[in-house]
Amino acid sequence: MPPDKSVGVGLRTPSEAGMDQEIAQIVAKIHDTPQQSVLAVAGAGNYALAWLLGVGGASRTVLETRVPYGYLAMTDFLGGYAPEQTVSADTARRMARAAWGRGLSLREQDAPIVGLACTATIATDRTKRGDHRAFIATWDHDVATTDVIVLDKGLRERAGEEEVVSRLVIAALARACGVSAELDLRLASSERVETETLRHAEPVQRLLDGDASWVTVHPDGRMVVDGDAPQALLPGSFNPLHAGHTELAEAVTGALGVPVAYELSVSNVDKPPLAAVEVHGRLDQFRGIGTVVLTRAETFIKKSELFPGCGFAIGWDTVTRLIQPRYYGNSDAAMLKALAAMWGRGSRFAVGGRTDDGGAFRSLADVNIPDGFRLMFTEIPETDFRRDLSSTAIRETHRLN
C-alpha cells in the first residue's frame, strides 16, 4: 500500500473531507461519552480522523492517532509482529488491540479505552487486481468487533471509497462508545457490511493464549489486563507462598522505595506452561495479601523488556544464576550483553540473603558481580531480611506429613 500523497490527515479540512451535519452530530455525541481512544488507520479512514478532530471536544475522545502506512511502520506498531497480509481481519484486530494498549498508557483518570483500527486497500493511481476492501476493528476491555466491507470496484473514485470507509470508522467508534446512531454509510445496493463480535476470554486464559501481555491481580481478586506497569516485582513460582516471600517483599519495598508486587510467570524455561486452573490455585494464596502480576516472561531479559525501569526482588541463589555464563549458552559475552541490556532498560535488583546447601548464610557480598554492573544490585541487610526455609523444603515437609 504505497502512500497516496493526495489524501492525508491535515491536507483536507473536515468539510473538504465530506463531513455533513449527520456526521458532525454523531461525532459530538461520541465526544460526550467517557470513552477515550487511540485510532490507527492504514490505506483509508483518513477522513474519519479529520471529522473527529474537526468537532469541538475532540480532546475528550482522541488520545492519539496513528497512520502506520509502510510495512515497517505497521510491524513496529504491532510490537514487532510482521503480518502476512496487511489488509486482513486479523491485522485489523491486532492493530485495534495495539491501539487499546497504547490508550491504557495514555488515558486520564482510568477512563474506558477503545482501540480502533482500519486497514484497507482502495482505488489509487494504478489498477489493482484484487478487491477494494476494508477491515475496521474496535477493541475494548470486554469485546473485539470487526467490520468487513468489500467495495463495488470501479463504482467510485478514491475519494468516494475513502468516504465510505471513513463513515464506517465513525459508525464503529460510535458503537464502541455506546452511541446509538444510524449513519448513512453511502453503500451501493451490491455492498454489505459483515460484522463479527468476539467476547474476550477471562484474563488468565487471555494471557495463556498470548492475547495479553500481562495481567494485574489485585488483593481483592480483581483482574486488569495490560494495566499500569509495576514499579518493582518479586518473581517466584509461589508453590507455595510463604513468609519468606512476604517478608522479602516488605524489605525490598523499603530498600527500593516503591511498592513491590509479586510476579508469577505462567511460562517456564524447563517446564510446560501452567494450566489456568493451576494459576488460579496459586492466585488464591494472595487474597488480601498483595498484588500479583501474571506474565509469560520466564527470564529476567524478558521481564526487563516487558517492564523497563522495573526493580526486582531476588534471593542470593538467583543472583548467582543471573551472572553464570552457562545460562547464556556458556558464553561470557552473551551474559555480559544480557546484563548490559537490562542495565540499559533501567533494571535493578534488590538481593536478599539465604543459606546455601551446606547451611552457610550467603549474601550479595559473596557474589562476584562482573565489573561495571555492581550498581544494578542492592543488598538487603541480614538484619532486615533472613528466611532460610525454601518452597521446596516446605513442599517436602507437607509431603512427609
Contacts made by residues 372-376, CB under 8 angstroms, sequence distance 24+ = 373/339, 373/343, 376/339, 376/342, 376/343, 376/347, 376/348, 376/349
In a domain, residue 16? The reply is: no
The amino acid at residue 53 is L
Residue 204: CB atoms within 10 A of its CB come to 23
Q: Where a domain ends, among 141, 164, 199?
A: 199
Burial of 132 (0-12, 13-18, 19+ CB in 10 A): buried
Within this chain, do residues 103 and 175 fall inside the same structural domain, yes or no?
yes
Q: Where a domain ends, among 142, 164, 199?
A: 199
Within this chain, do residues 273 and 388 fall inside the same structural domain, yes or no?
yes
Within this chain, do residues 84 and 158 fall inside the same structural domain, yes or no?
yes
In a domain, residue 72? The reply is: yes
Q: Which of 137, 131, 315, 307 is nearest to 230 (CA)?
A: 307
Can you give the residue range of the structural domain that contains 285?
203-400
The amino acid at residue 67 is V
Within this chain, do residues 219 and 292 fall inside the same structural domain, yes or no?
yes
Q: What is the pLDDT of residue 388?
A: 67
Within this chain, do residues 273 and 147 fall inside the same structural domain, yes or no?
no
Scan for cell 446512531, then name that residue. Answer: 181
Q: CA 276, CA 205: separation in Å to the nearest integer?
A: 6
In a domain, residue 324? The reply is: yes
Assess contact for 339 and 373: CB atoms under 8 A.
yes
Within this chain, do residues 173 and 159 fall inside the same structural domain, yes or no?
yes
Q: What is the pLDDT of residue 1?
A: 43
Domain count, the chain: 2
Within this chain, do residues 391 and 283 fall inside the same structural domain, yes or no?
yes
Assess contact for 122 and 78: CB atoms under 8 A.
no
Q: What is the pLDDT of residue 314?
A: 94
In a domain, residue 82? The reply is: yes
Within this chain, do residues 119 and 242 fall inside the same structural domain, yes or no?
no
Assess contact for 140 and 177: CB atoms under 8 A.
no
pLDDT digits (tens), the chain, 401 positions: 444 333 334 445 666 667 899 999 999 999 999 999 999 999 999 999 999 999 999 999 999 999 999 999 999 999 899 999 999 999 999 999 999 999 998 998 889 999 999 999 999 888 888 999 999 999 999 999 999 999 999 999 999 999 999 999 999 999 999 998 889 999 999 999 999 999 999 999 999 998 899 999 999 999 999 888 999 999 999 999 999 899 999 988 888 888 999 999 999 887 889 999 999 999 999 999 999 999 999 999 999 999 999 999 999 999 999 999 998 999 999 999 999 999 999 999 999 998 888 888 999 999 999 999 999 999 999 888 877 655 555 445 444 44
Which residues are CB-neighbours of 229 under 8 A, at least 6 positions away?
A: 307, 310
Within this chain, do residues 76 and 153 fall inside the same structural domain, yes or no?
yes
| CATH code of 145's domain | 3.90.950.20
Assess contact for 238 and 285: CB atoms under 8 A.
yes
Q: Where a domain ends, among 181, 199, 217?
A: 199
Within this chain, do residues 151 and 210 fall inside the same structural domain, yes or no?
no
Please tell me whether the overall predicted TM-score, pTM, comes out greater than 0.75 for this model: yes
On the CB side of 172, CA atoms within 13 Å amount to 37
Q: What is the pLDDT of residue 397?
A: 47
Within this chain, do residues 49 and 87 fall inside the same structural domain, yes or no?
yes
On the CB side of 279, CA atoms within 13 Å amount to 28
Residue 292 phi/psi, 5-degree rounding, is -120, 135
Which residues are CB-neighbours of 209 under 8 A, at least 6 positions away?
A: 201
| CATH code of 228's domain | 3.40.50.620
Omega of the bond leading into 240 within 30 degrees of 0 (cis): yes
Q: Which of 109, 94, 85 is nearest to 35 (CA)?
A: 109
In a domain, residue 15? The reply is: no
In a domain, residue 191? The reply is: yes
Within this chain, do residues 181 and 212 fall inside the same structural domain, yes or no?
no
Q: Which of 308, 385, 306, 389 is nearest to 351 (CA)?
A: 385
Q: What is the pLDDT of residue 396?
A: 52
Burial of 1 (0-12, 13-18, 19+ CB in 10 A): middle
In a domain, residue 12? The reply is: no
In a domain, residue 1? The reply is: no
